[in-house]
A and B are shown apart, each in its own frame.
Chain A
């Protein structure tokens, strides 16, 4: 048998018997045929069609990270600090997210391997399991907070908690039961765009655009100055933008979609567009809850969509309902992407089939992990007496703390010439990535110091 283009793999021990064509391959090939056809044509329309065919993982990961806890963190930010320092700061965090996520997209396109798979293969199981434990714990805690957000958001409309959790699980089932990556991606993209629902809510508060513009330029004011509370919000907002699950999700989704080296330029556009959309939604959420600060209301007693209840006297029932719906949407989309991120990583590590192109019969392990994670997290949310907002902020803080080790793996892989070839990170990308690692590590250390030595901030002039 002539393996044709596969023959070069024989150097890596690939035999004819190894070359097994699956439905997953056929589905991916259909998608690639359309990409090749669009690429072969000339004209503006064809370029847009090519972009349309290739966008997805970047937008989904960014809007997926604008999840329940993230939107609640932004809402808490607006309610506690108003319009000021945190608006440009959140935009900066999305710039960091672009730097990091571009590397995962490049890795996936160049190697056709998921992030967990690459870490295990290149660094061995010792470091691989460390990485998986970080991901597993982080993903599970975050999933819990997604269900908290869904429960709180639907609670605004009088939906009981058990029904809210059940509806989220049904949504998850419907989202992944399409057995086709393309259909799943397009459906979830259509839903994820509703993250921008926070924009009309912000407009309903009649924001002071002069203050917004001034904050963007001056990074001021920061009411209360530097304090432990401020630092927790800083970490929560960073954790609302860059988290370990995003690395694993975008790389695996890039592989599942079938992106190749030729697609990297448009993959970058996908990532930047996603970050821009997510940043708009995040800033809109801060602006939307800023009136709570102006009216001297605090966020401490608000749980999820209770922000919506607090806003109701200011923006009316319709605006408050939009806000609550936005929280539900954020939780629903992220519960899907995070569950899939866990299932992808599990499949990659145990070398079981892991693709959204798989029928249930051939992807039992993949779909079982996906549903078990979600169902367990949903059940935990039904435990009465959970301090919801505190849990949500804390999960984002933990996500930031877990980021530096995850970024070092990413950094090393993206600079690994043996797997990346000529697609290793350029110097400017390495400088930016190093800055992100140092920034995140220092932010975490500062938080640690503030806990160990609470008087530190008073000593250096804060509170």
Chain B
């Protein structure tokens, strides 16, 4: 059977069976440390992401200016 987490001595064998029968494998907390494989971004995707990043930085400057203008 799968092992119990340290400090989880109150987890019984029937608990373990219930977990394995009712949860999908990917739902187990202990298995989430396994990373999902990295995706390599294509040129157009990188372009969109950088464009929106620049858009956000520009707009934050606009908002800061707006606040400054309102306070003065």
Contacts and interface: CB of A to CB of B under 8 A. Distances in A.
B8 interface: yes
A353 B11 CA distance: 18
Nearest to A261: B24
Interface in B39-72: 39, 41, 45, 48-49, 52-53, 55-56, 58-60, 62-63, 65-67, 69-70
B8 A22 contact: yes
Contacts of A361: 7
Contacts of A6: 2, 20, 25, 28
Nearest to A262: B24
Contacts of B52: 404-405, 408, 441
Nearest to A411: B48
B67 to A, nearest CB: 7
B5 A21 contact: yes
B62 A447 contact: yes
Contact of B62 (A29, A390, A441, A448): A448
Nearest to A355: B29
Interface residues of B, number: 50
A441 B18 CA distance: 48
User: A interface, how many residues as a size bin?
Assistant: 35 or more
B39 A9 contact: no
Contacts of A405: 49, 52-53, 55-56
A42 interface: no
B59 to A, nearest CB: 4
Contacts of B62: 447-448, 451-452
Interface string A9-25: 10011101111111111
A5 B20 contact: yes
A430 interface: no
Interface in A376-433: 390, 394, 397-398, 401-402, 404-405, 408, 412, 416, 418-419
A416 B45 CA distance: 13
A306 interface: no
Interface of B: 1-5, 7-8, 10-11, 15-16, 18-20, 22-39, 41, 45, 48-49, 52-53, 55-56, 58-60, 62-63, 65-67, 69-70
Chain A to chain B: the 10 pairs with minimum beta-carbon distance, closest first: A20-B30, A19-B2, A121-B36, A405-B52, A32-B22, A29-B19, A401-B59, A112-B26, A22-B5, A448-B62
